[in-house]
Amino acid sequence: MNDSPSTHHPSPAAQESWRVFKIMSEFVEGFETLQHLGPAVSVFGSARTGPGTPTYESARAIGKIFAERRLPVITGGGPGVMEAANRGACEGKGVSVGLNIALPHEQDPNPYQTLKLDFNYFFCRKVMFVKYASAFVIFPGGFGTLDEFFESLTLIQTLKIDPFPVVCVDTKFWSGLFDWVGSTMRDGYHTIGPDDLDLVHLTDDIVEAADIVDDYVQGRKSVPDRYMVGHETDSGEGTREGVKSRRFTRLDPNEPGI
């Protein structure tokens, strides 16, 4: 007879169900922490960009400009461009938000965060970037930066979010991508609309970038009306409600399943 206490191991299915509560807790903490933030700007760029480089100093400068204009700055909380924007926001005595992510190689949080949140899940963190942003300002970066860039355009193009300015800083970095999107996606393969690139502003001037954001936040300029359809149906987590897909009906009962 074994007198040792029994050990109960949850089934894989039960573990998956409990994971939902872990995900839910990240959304709850994020919503409760940021709900009174007001119009803010999410700033993206490479974690590999060091202090003293032109990109770092530009991100630092624009962070300070936004703070002085009473616009909170949101970043991913890490080093590089994220640190620079948070640092500038602190130097401008503004609100500096860091949405940190737990990574296998450990992200070093920068010390310039007046509001700090920690996430295990990229998708929870990405909701916060969009839900509380009145604009995206995007500096040169890697795959993660491009992910945020294309996601913002996808959400605006598909009318899932209220459209806001997407400003890309550094024409040397971005111009090759823009040329390819225009010549190949738009003109060659017609996989985007003829006007979809109008959603993006490209500049080397951080004051111009800040003015584009400020004009939108203050209601002096808006995006094209075609992206405003259905804006009154906010789902609450930062996206719009949509029309549900209709049930698929097979016309031919002998048609093989999909």
**pLDDT tens across 35-90, in order?**
999 999 999 999 999 999 999 999 999 999 999 999 999 999 999 999 999 999 99
pLDDT, residue 16, reads: 81
Least confident of 125-134, 151-160, 195-204, 236-245: 236-245
* pLDDT above 70: residue 229: no
In sequence order, the β-bridge partners of residue 169 are 203
Q: Supply the CATH number for residue 183's domain.
A: 3.40.50.450
Neighbouring residues of 144: CB distance < 8 A, sequence distance ≥ 6:
44, 76
Between 241 and 46, name the one with better pLDDT. 46
Mean pLDDT within 236-244: 67
Does residue 223 belong to any structural domain of this protein? Answer: yes
* pLDDT above 70: residue 257: no
Mean pLDDT within 121-132: 96
pLDDT, residue 171, reads: 98
Does residue 109 belong to any structural domain of this protein? Answer: yes
Q: How far apart are alpha carbons 129 and 44 in whole angstroms?
A: 10
Q: How far apart are alpha carbons 100 and 117 in whole angstroms?
A: 6
Q: How far apart are alpha carbons 19 and 26 in whole angstroms?
A: 11
Mean pLDDT within 160-167: 92
Does residue 154 belong to any structural domain of this protein? Answer: yes
Give the CB-side neighbour count of residue 18, counting CA atoms within 13 A: 6
Does residue 221 belong to any structural domain of this protein? Answer: yes
Both tokens of 189, joined, read 């393969």
pLDDT, residue 243, reads: 65
* pLDDT above 60: residue 220: yes
Instruction: For the chain, give percent helix, strand, coil, nearest 5.
Output: 45, 15, 45
Does residue 147 belong to any structural domain of this protein? Answer: yes
pTM of the model: 0.86
**pLDDT band (50, 70, 90) for residue 232:** low
pLDDT, residue 234, reads: 63
Does residue 166 belong to any structural domain of this protein? Answer: yes
pLDDT, residue 65, reads: 98
The residue length of the chain stands at 258
Least confident of 65-79, 189-203, 231-245: 231-245
Domain range for 52 is: 37-227
Q: How far apart are alpha carbons 227 and 233 in whole angstroms?
A: 13
Instruction: Please list, residue by residue across 56-74, b when 16 or more beta carbons sit within 10 angstroms of its beta carbon and e when fewer do.
Output: bebbbbbbbbbbebebbbb
Please report which helix (H) or strand (E) contains residue 75, including its range. strand 73-75
pLDDT, residue 56, reads: 98
Mean pLDDT within 240-248: 65
* pLDDT above 90: residue 143: yes
Does residue 25 belong to any structural domain of this protein? Answer: no
Whole-number average pLDDT of the chain: 89
pLDDT, residue 26, reads: 96
Instruction: Please list, residue by residue across 230-255, b when 16 or more beta carbons sit within 10 angstroms of its beta carbon and e when fewer do.
Output: eeeeeeeebbbeeeeeeeeeeeeeee
Domain tally for the chain? 1
Q: What are φ and ψ of residue 25, in 5° steps?
A: -65, -35
pLDDT, residue 162, reads: 85
Does residue 220 belong to any structural domain of this protein? Answer: yes
pLDDT, residue 45, reads: 98
pLDDT, residue 249, reads: 59
Let me know: does 39 contact 61? Beta carbons within 8 Å: no
pLDDT, residue 238, reads: 66
Q: How far apart are alpha carbons 139 and 242 in whole angstroms?
A: 32
